[in-house]
Every structure is written in C-alpha cells, then in structure tokens.
Amino acid sequence: MMMTNNIKSNIVRIKQRSLPLLLVLLSFLSLPALAETTHVTIAVVDVAYLMKNAPEAESAGLELKARFSPRELALSKELELIGQLEAERERNLVTWTPEQRQQNEREVRTRKRDRTRALEDFREELRFARDAALDSVQQSVFKAIEDVREEREIDVVIEEYVAASARVNITPDVLNYLQRQFDQKQSGTQNNKKSTEQ
C-alpha cells in the first residue's frame, strides 16, 4: 500500500514537471505552420554604438563641459592656493612666530575642508547631470529604434547579437534618424531664438 502511494505521488510529480515541457514542445511543433502563414522580419541594432555616437550625446557632453568647467577650474585654483600656503609655511617655518604658524595651519585646514566639501558637491552634481543627460540620450535612442522599426515594418529588433549582415543591421538607419531629429530640434531652437529677439 505504501509503495503504491509513493508510485502515485511520483507519477503526479512527473506529470506536473512535464506539463510545461510538453507545452513548449507543442509550441515548437506549431511554428512551421505559423511560419508558412506569417512573414516575420528581424533586425539587429548596436545600442552601445548609438549611445556613443548619437548627436544628442555629443551635444550633452559639450553642455556638461560648459556648465561644470568653471567650477572644476575654481577647485583646481583652490588646490594650488592651498599648496602655496603650505609652501609658504615651510619656507617661513623658522622666521614665523608660533601664532603666525597656527594661523597659517588653521587657514590651510579650513580651505582644505571647504574644498573637500565643494569637491564632493561638484562630483555629486556632475554625476546627477551626467545621469540625466544619459537618460535623455537613451530615451531618444530607444524611441528612434522604435520609429525606424515601425517605418521599415520590422517585427523584432534584437540588441545583443554575435554577427549580422548589413541587410538586417538597422544601426546606420537609426543613427541617420537621430541626426535628422537632432537637426530639426536645433533648427527649431534657432527659429525660436530669432523670433524672441525680434
């Protein structure tokens, strides 16, 4: 009796495990019939290349540089000033009074502490700005991929692939689309500037 129950429970477990496998096998068996009635088009795209070479990415990089270069330069100058104060203390170690040395040391400590805080703030703001710019570029790239996919009536676009022929690689088409979109946006921005100036 006990052995019969074990066999029954094993059969139930096998049936439960086999059901998903059976469904997968049945779906593969029906694919040839589906392929005969439906034409599926597949394309590939190199998203990393698009993220690196999209015109919006270059523009965002230039904007970040313009926005953060002055602060980076100020931080660099502050570091030079701290170095000069430390060098001055070393040169005048013998001639300065203990009060002058303490005042110099306090000023150096204060400047170092302030610079460290400013540097941390700078890095955090730069990271947030870079992440926001990257998100914007990524959204533009994925929208462009979707728009090109719809234009060319492609059913599936694959991002990660080992190799593909130029016939199915839509990366150049997406890059051209991104360039056209960027140019339109730039000309719209310039038109808006001209109309506000007049």
DSSP string, 43-77: EE--HHHHHHH-HHHHHHHHHHHHHHHHHHHHHHH
Write down the pLDDT at residue 4: 41
* Residue type (1 letter), 9: S
Confidence category of residue 50, pLDDT binned at 50, 70, 90: very high
Average pLDDT, the chain: 83
Can you tell me the distance from the alpha carbon of 174 to that of 74, in angstroms, rounded to the nearest whole number?
Answer: 40
Q: Which of 146, 148, 144 is nearest to 136 (CA)?
A: 144
What is the pLDDT averaged over residues 44-60? 94
Q: Per-residue pLDDT for 21 more than 50?
A: no
Distances (CA, A) of 68 to 58, 138, 141: 15, 22, 25
Q: Pull the structure tokens for residue 150.
A: 């719809």
* pTM confidence score: 0.64
Residue 85 has pLDDT above 50, yes or no: yes
Q: What is the pLDDT of residue 187?
A: 84
State yes or no: pLDDT of 179 exceeds 80. Answer: yes
Q: What percent of the chain has a predicted confidence (pLDDT) above 70?
A: 76
More confident residue, 54 or 198: 54
Buried-state track 41-71, b at ≥16 Cβ within 10 A, e below 16: eebbbbbeebbeebbbbeebeeeeeeebeee
pLDDT at 198: 55
Of the listed ranges 67-71, 166-170, 185-189, the one predicted with least confidence: 185-189
Distance CA 42, CA 129 (A): 36
